[in-house]
Structure formats: structure tokens, C-alpha cells
Structure 1
Amino acid sequence: MLTTAKPAAPTATTAVRLGFALLAAAAVNTVIALGAVSLDDGGIRMGLSPAAYLPATAIGLLLGTVGWFVIARRAPNALRVVVPAVLVLTWVPDLMLLNVGATAANVIGLMLMHLVVTTAVVTALRPTLVPSPGSVQAVGTAD
């Protein structure tokens, strides 16, 4: 079990991880958007153009990073609850698009994009968590 006493300071390695996370999230979100557009017959295609989702991907990664470090500094164990809760909250506006003419393919595509950005942030920043002095880490799980 990995718990934290306090997060490690951001380093160049963390910046590189975040850069790769941004590239990966943008690539995966492009694939999702293309799939959603191909299935979005007669919908409004909200958020499925590169001009909409690429900046949103970068902003989501930035906000997720800021949130991660703020929470990790004050209550690192809360990340296990906060990250999934925030993800679910980001789906609320997506679901509300159903009321204005979005198709299920559009909404599911946007929800998957939010999941991709969340996964990218967690994958990039999980190594910044420092094991607390009393915790035991399983063999082979060192970051």
C-alpha cells in the first residue's frame, strides 16, 4: 500500500512525465473523437473537434496537476476519494448535453475523454507520492 507523508517536490522528471501524459492524452482523445464523430449521426458533435478537445485536454491536465499537488500536500490519502469524485463530477455537464441534442455517442465520447485525462494525470503524478515512513511497499511495486 502506497501512502504519503508529503509529496516530493516537482522535478524535471515530473515535467517530462506530464509532457508525455499530455501527448498520450491528446492522441487517445483524438482517436476517441474520431470514433464518436463516426457514430454521431445527426448529433451536435459538441466538443468533438480538435479546436475544442485539444485545449480542453491541456487545461484538464494542468488543473488536474494543480489539484493533485494541493491535495497531496494537505491530505494525500484523500486522493483516493477526490480523484474519482472529480471525474464523476466532470461527467455531469456531458450528460446534460443529452438535453440539447447530443447523441449518446457524443456524450460517451466526452466522458471517455475525461477518463483519459484523469488517467494521464494519475499515471504521470503517482510517482511523486512518497511512501510514509511506516508503510510497507510490496516487492516489485517501487516507482
Structure 2
Amino acid sequence: MNDTFVTISPVRRGGVTIAVGLVVAAAVATALNAAIATIAVAAGASSQFQALQLPTYATFTVIGVLAGAAGWAVVRAKTRNPRRVMRVLAPAVVLVSFVPDVLVGVSGGLPGASWGGVVALMVMHVVVAAVAVAVYARMLPLPADRS
């Protein structure tokens, strides 16, 4: 009997391809966040709530996509079980991202802040994570767990 082992390694993408993927992720997430902000304001959230204004959420969306890609790349390169780590880490990061939102909702310290605006902001975080993870999985696929 002949034992044959096949090792499948992740596809290596060039820097330009990855950069384009990140730009697409940021653009799609920003467009979806624009829709969420519009719906939130139409539903009664204040348009004065800075987090629902395009310059603010677009900036934080881009930062989130880039920070997520950096984290994804580190997990991909450095962990023994990258898929298992990401299954825990990605949702945990999203949950942690809700903490400042809840604090804004509780304190009401920002102009125009309301729970409607805060919930919209939390939905935006989920959207950015979902779009980004979909792009990362395609552009920077995680290798199989290393034993």
C-alpha cells in the first residue's frame, strides 16, 4: 500500500491584490454603514450624533478593516490553530467593540446620542466585521490547523 500525503497551503496573494481587497472591503462596509445611518436617522436617531455622520463612520470603518487585516495576518502566521483562534477571536473583538457604544448610551454624554443611535452604531460594527472577515477569508485564507 502506498501512502500519499497531500499538503494544501493557502494561496499567496500579491500585495496589490490584497490592497484592492481591503479597499473593496472598506468601500462596501462604508456603503452599508451609510444605509444603516440613514435608516437610524429616519427612525428617530439624531443626525447630530457624530457617530452617524459619514466622515466619522467612514474613518472608523477604514481603521477597523485595516486593524482587522493586521490581526488576521498575525493569527494566520503565528498560531498553531488559526481557524480555531479566529472562530473565537473575531466574535470576541466585535463584542468588545460594543463596550464604548454601551458607555455612550448609558452616559448620553455625546451630542445627539440616544439608544437608537447606539444600536445603529453596534449594527455598523457587526457589518464591518462581517464584510471584512468575508474579504480576509478570500484574500488571506487561513491555513489548516498545525498539529
TM-score range, shorter chain: 0.7 to 0.9
Say whether residues 1:129 and 2:138 are aligned partners.
no
Could you tell me which residue of structure 2 aligns to residue 16 of structure 1?
20
Tell me, in whole angstroms, the C-alpha distance in 2 between the residues paired with 1:103 and 1:116: 20
Say if 1:8 and 1:66 are closer, same or farther in 2 by CA, change over 3 A: farther
What fraction of aligned residue pairs are identical, expressed as a percent?
Answer: 33
Displacement of 1:46 after TM fit?
3.8
1:79 to 86, 102, 108: 86
2:127 to 89, 104, 116: 116
**TM-score, scaled relative to structure 1:** 0.79
Tell me, in whole angstroms, the C-alpha distance in 1 between the residues paired with 2:122 and 2:76: 25
Tell me, in whole angstroms, the C-alpha distance in 2 between the residues paired with 1:34 and 1:17: 26
Displacement of 1:107 after TM fit?
0.8
Bigger drift between 102-111 and 123-132 goes to 123-132
Matched AA of 1:129: P
Could you tell me which residue of structure 1 aligns to residue 107 of structure 2?
100
Say whether residues 1:54 and 2:65 are aligned partners.
no
Displacement of 1:35 after TM fit?
1.2
CA RMSD, Structure 1 to Structure 2 (Å): 2.5
Could you tell me which residue of structure 2 aligns to residue 37 of structure 1?
41
Name segments (4+ residues, structure 1) moved above 6 Å: none
Displacement of 1:118 after TM fit?
0.6
**TM-score, scaled relative to structure 2:** 0.77
Say if 1:26 and 1:132 are closer, same or farther in 2 by CA, change over 3 A: same
Secondary structure of the structure 2 residue equivalent to 1:47: helix
Tell me, in whole angstroms, the C-alpha distance in 2 between the residues paired with 1:22 and 1:91: 20
Could you tell me which residue of structure 2 aligns to residue 25 of structure 1?
29
Tell me, in whole angstroms, the C-alpha distance in 2 between the residues paired with 1:105 and 1:32: 11
Displacement of 1:49 after TM fit?
0.7
Matched AA of 1:108: V
Matched AA of 1:79: M
Aligned pairs, how many? 130
Gapped regions of structure 2 (runs ≥ 5) = 1-7
Tell me, in whole angstroms, the C-alpha distance in 1 between the residues paired with 2:45 and 2:128: 26
Do the aligned partners of 1:61 and 1:121 also contact (CA within 8 Å) in 2? yes
Tell me, in whole angstroms, the C-alpha distance in 2 between the residues paired with 1:95 and 1:44: 18
Do the aligned partners of 1:6 and 1:73 also contact (CA within 8 Å) in 2? no
Gapped regions of structure 1 (runs ≥ 5) = 135-143
| Larger gyration radius, structure 1 or structure 2 | 2
